[in-house]
């Protein structure tokens, strides 16, 4: 049986074939992302620390992040113990220092231990229960008895800046038992934020091991209005301030020129006095010589 197809029919057949191939590929890739029952994506642990160390008396945070959790629940327990410390966002531990930290729609389900002590050290399990099996991740907590340095806070940077130049202040806070979430900047009592229109940029960095937080305030192009008192605050206890002066470059140059001219005038005046004094001495010598000459002639 001889079948002939017009070019239009042939193009339609080829198009439909390509669509079917694409749909088949999408179906296969989707099937791999879902569990065997096809109900939801299979949960999996995201990479995070499995061995953490905290100072005695600080707040310990044991990380656990789970992707594709769906309707399933994350629980925490100490390795070897039957009863859980937390299930979901509920805490069942007798020790009130235990708590779970979870932000809505976030994969993080971190175990927090306030005022951590040596007896809290050990291996903990972050667990996700499914119908097929239980997923477990083990995190080792170490508690060390290091004495913390005395809390301190300082601001570094130039306190005299020419107009249109950059103001750069760095605030460094150390020694706090628990690292602060952020550093607040104020100028004459008004809180500062990163603002591209005002060319203000605030950046922060942290060091958990050194219990240090550093914040850099940068004002790209200083104006005379930026003169004032800048305050860096971590808490009600850790507060410090500096006074920044923005100099008008033209006025500054004029003052320098006036000062230079005044100095040159003083030098010139002193030179004239010296010359006058020398002339008087010379005149006195001449008079003495003339007087002696007349005395000799007589």
143 forms bridges with which residues in the sheet? 54
Residue 28 has pLDDT above 50, yes or no: no
The predicted pLDDT at position 265 comes to: 54
Residue 85, token pair as written in the block:
């410390």
Residue 75 within any structural domain of the chain: yes
Supply angle C-alpha 241, 245, 248, rounded to 5.
165
Examine the domain organization and report whether 50 and 124 are in the same domain.
Answer: yes
* Lowest mean pLDDT segment, chosen from 30-34, 193-197, 250-254: 30-34
pTM exceeds cut of 0.85: no
Q: Considering the chain, what is the average pLDDT of its residues?
A: 79
pLDDT per residue as tens digits for the range 65-98: 999 888 899 999 999 888 999 999 999 999 999 9
The predicted pLDDT at position 130 comes to: 77
Examine the domain organization and report whether 140 and 229 are in the same domain.
Answer: no
Token pair 């005046």 in the structure block, residue: 269
Alpha-carbon span 125 to 64, nearest angstrom: 9
| Mean pLDDT in residue range 232-261 | 76
Residue 274 has pLDDT above 50, yes or no: no
In the listed set 126, 144, 162, which residue is the last one of a domain according to the structure?
Answer: 144
The number of angstroms, rounded, from the C-alpha of 262 to the middle of its chain's C-alpha atoms is 49
Residue 269 within any structural domain of the chain: no
Residue 8 within any structural domain of the chain: no
H helices of 4-153, in order, are: 7-33
Read off the CATH number of the domain in which 98 is found: 2.60.40.10
Residue 172 within any structural domain of the chain: yes
Examine the domain organization and report whether 138 and 52 are in the same domain.
Answer: yes
Examine the domain organization and report whether 60 and 140 are in the same domain.
Answer: yes
| Mean pLDDT in residue range 238-243 | 93
The predicted pLDDT at position 89 comes to: 92
Examine the domain organization and report whether 200 and 229 are in the same domain.
Answer: yes
Residue range(s) defining the domain that contains residue 80? 44-144
Residue 127 within any structural domain of the chain: yes
Examine the domain organization and report whether 88 and 57 are in the same domain.
Answer: yes
Residue 266 has pLDDT above 70, yes or no: no
Residue 242 within any structural domain of the chain: yes
Residue 47: which residues within 8 A CB-CB, separation 6 or more?
A: none
Examine the domain organization and report whether 225 and 166 are in the same domain.
Answer: yes
Ranges 35-39, 192-196, 265-269, most confident: 192-196
Q: pLDDT band for 179, please (50, 70, 90 cuts).
A: low
| Mean pLDDT in residue range 97-113 | 91
DSSP string, 229-266: EEEEESSSSSEEEEEEEEE-HHHHHHHHHHHHHHHHHH
pLDDT per residue as tens digits for the range 40-60: 678 889 998 999 999 999 999
Residue 35 has pLDDT above 90, yes or no: no
**In the chain, how many domains are there?**
2
The predicted pLDDT at position 158 comes to: 92
pLDDT per residue as tens digits for the range 219-233: 999 999 999 999 999
Examine the domain organization and report whether 205 and 125 are in the same domain.
Answer: no
Examine the domain organization and report whether 83 and 133 are in the same domain.
Answer: yes
Examine the domain organization and report whether 169 and 195 are in the same domain.
Answer: yes
Share of the chain above pLDDT 70, in %: 65
Residue 6 has pLDDT above 80, yes or no: no
Examine the domain organization and report whether 129 and 156 are in the same domain.
Answer: no
The predicted pLDDT at position 29 comes to: 47
52 forms bridges with which residues in the sheet? 141
Taking CA atoms, 255 is separated from 49, 165, 185, 252, in Å, by 60, 19, 33, 5
Give the chain's count of helices (H) and strands (E): 2, 20
Residue 53 within any structural domain of the chain: yes
Q: pLDDT band for 16, please (50, 70, 90 cuts).
A: low
Task: Please state the length of the chain.
Answer: 298
Examine the domain organization and report whether 166 and 115 are in the same domain.
Answer: no
Alpha-carbon span 103 to 99, nearest angstrom: 13
Residue 100 within any structural domain of the chain: yes
The predicted pLDDT at position 234 comes to: 87
The predicted pLDDT at position 4 comes to: 64
Of 298 and 142, the one with more pLDDT? 142
280 forms bridges with which residues in the sheet? none
Alpha-carbon span 171 to 194, nearest angstrom: 15
Q: What is the 3-state secondary structure (H, E, C) of 40-60?
A: CECCEECCCCCEEEEECCCCE
For residue 198, which phi and psi values (nearest 5 degrees)? -90, 5
């Amino acid at each position: 049986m001889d079948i002939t197809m017009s070019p239009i029919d042939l193009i339609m057949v080829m198009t439909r074939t390509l669509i079917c191939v694409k749909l088949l590929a999408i179906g296969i890739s989707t099937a791999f992302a879902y569990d065997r029952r096809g109900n939801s994506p299979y949960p999996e642990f995201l990479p995070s620390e499995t061995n953490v160390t905290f100072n005695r008396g600080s707040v310990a945070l044991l990380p656990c992040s789970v992707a594709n959790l769906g309707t399933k629940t994350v629980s925490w327990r100490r390795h070897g113990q039957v009863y859980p410390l937390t299930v979901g966002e509920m805490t069942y531990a007798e020790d009130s220092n235990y708590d779970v930290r979870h932000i809505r729609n976030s994969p993080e389900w971190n175990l927090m231990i306030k005022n951590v002590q040596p007896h809290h050290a050990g291996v903990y399990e972050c667990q996700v229960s499914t119908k097929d099996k239980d997923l477990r991740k083990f995190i080792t907590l170490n508690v060390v008895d290091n004495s913390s340095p005395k809390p301190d806070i300082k601001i570094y940077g130039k306190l005299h800046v020419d107009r249109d130049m950059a103001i750069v202040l760095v605030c460094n806070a150390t020694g706090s038992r628990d690292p602060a979430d952020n550093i607040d900047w104020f100028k004459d009592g008004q809180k500062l934020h990163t603002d591209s229109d005002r060319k203000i940029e605030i950046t922060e960095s942290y060091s958990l091991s050194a219990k240090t937080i550093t914040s850099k305030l940068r004002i790209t192009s200083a104006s005379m209005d930026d003169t004032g008192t800048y305050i860096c605050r971590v808490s009600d206890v850790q507060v410090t301030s500096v006074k920044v002066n923005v100099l008008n470059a033209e006025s500054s140059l004029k003052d320098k020129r006036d000062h230079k001219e005044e100095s040159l005038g003083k030098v010139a005046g002193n030179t004239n006095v010296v010359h006058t004094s020398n002339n008087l001495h010379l005149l006195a010598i001449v008079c003495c010589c003339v007087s002696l000459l007349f005395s000799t002639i007589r």
